[in-house]
Structure 1
């Protein structure tokens, strides 16, 4: 048997999952349930090679395996020497692999030199996924992300300069209503400086057990509605320069408008038009669309709200939800969104 971690990017669905560290070395972000209740540890190179040997016995004959993903949350925390050893061993055991990717924290990437990252690229590391979440210092501190604007920019620029594909993850709604504008503007400003290959949107949803739930109850954090989050994304997109970054809402079902997707230097105007098309809907039409989307993992075209039979059925449900009390509909939408979040590995949040 070999070890596997609990999460991976959607784009790594068909990849070998090679666990080089266990859990998250920071694990203090107040919005993230993925590694709560667990301890971080590094695995030895010998352990990792043993897992790769076992994978080679099980999967070595399958021609469809062309990629591998290094788990867990910050694999690049290992020494460059050990990472080079692991990457070369993967290529030795799986010679057909063309892509090896990993998660990494911005602070870790800032510590790695461009020369080190170039070595890792030559050994087979082709893409790094980074959870940026926000470019606002206020938001980063509020969510206890443990990184700064400088970490994000310098770490990201190191990866880009080394020629490794960089995928930055951002989280609309994580700043709440009070920090929404700053969150959008500062996130765009930092991404304009980094110019990553991918900007992947991960709309914020609040886990019921998270400290942010208590903040919402206390009034120190004000959750945003679907309409407000779309308006925030519109501001974000409008602040992007004509950078050749792929802005993607399509690979995450919590993104309301999954169709907003494409290279910013090619489709920015179209994306703004699609966002405006949603914002121009009536309140009822927006509620219908939210209910349809949040009740399904599928994306829907905005024109679905014009389907009279479907709209009538949805409207009846909306009226029931509104009778549940103040903001009954919005609270139900937030609940539906929380169902799609990963669950803590234990009952403990800390």
Structure 2
């Protein structure tokens, strides 16, 4: 064998080896794609496939004359002042919901591993987080004030009135003015879905009527008055814009604290949030939502706004604080 022959390589062997490597790479790519596709498919399936899945998805179909966006409640205060205490308010009870909680702020900045490990709604550290609420026991609508300290920073919380199934009439009134949530991961259901469900006691009936955003310390104050029935909250710059710019609620995000954020940000950002109304509950665009006159027994709740996130830490509308309330709605 000559020197040229001795140093030569077998092209057939090289080709076979390349096919093995290429095949292995293709298997890895396909498996990775299947895993990602499966996760996305599960989320999309749960989002769309539940009974009544299209209910509320395309509100414009209900009435094109009713605006999609809605600015809820009274004017917002820029600087919070805390006046509630044990003597003039109720403390809300915190509940951890690890499967559904969100671990990034309204701008998508993720919290640090240490913050995630330490934070708990149910087990306050040094008295925080704490949420107090005071309501008017009698009036034309449900009104009051909520003060929060030590919640997740730069974070949006939905303010809800939830029905108590033990007070069945109140429960159904609230659901028919707001929304139903049946057991499972689906979120969009109609009145007929409620009627068809055999396990009505497992259904959540609620009116999402307002929201607030915490500051860099997780603090917020909101004076509220139920005048809206809402579907969800959106981020105009990162998701979709409202049909009325007057519905935008600006929020300054300060994410510079390395003890809170995995990747601290030097520059502040301004996010613009807006509320989508539950259009099918409205007859006119200028209508104010009101509960019918009567005595009510229900629960006031805070739910994390997850902005339809699909990532593992984006959340899925976990309800994390609530308190029982009783009040009377007076006739006009």
TM-score relative to the length of structure 1 = 0.24
Q: Which has the higher helix share?
A: 1
Q: Which has the higher strand share?
A: 2
TM-score relative to the length of structure 2 = 0.25
Which has more radius of gyration? Answer: 2
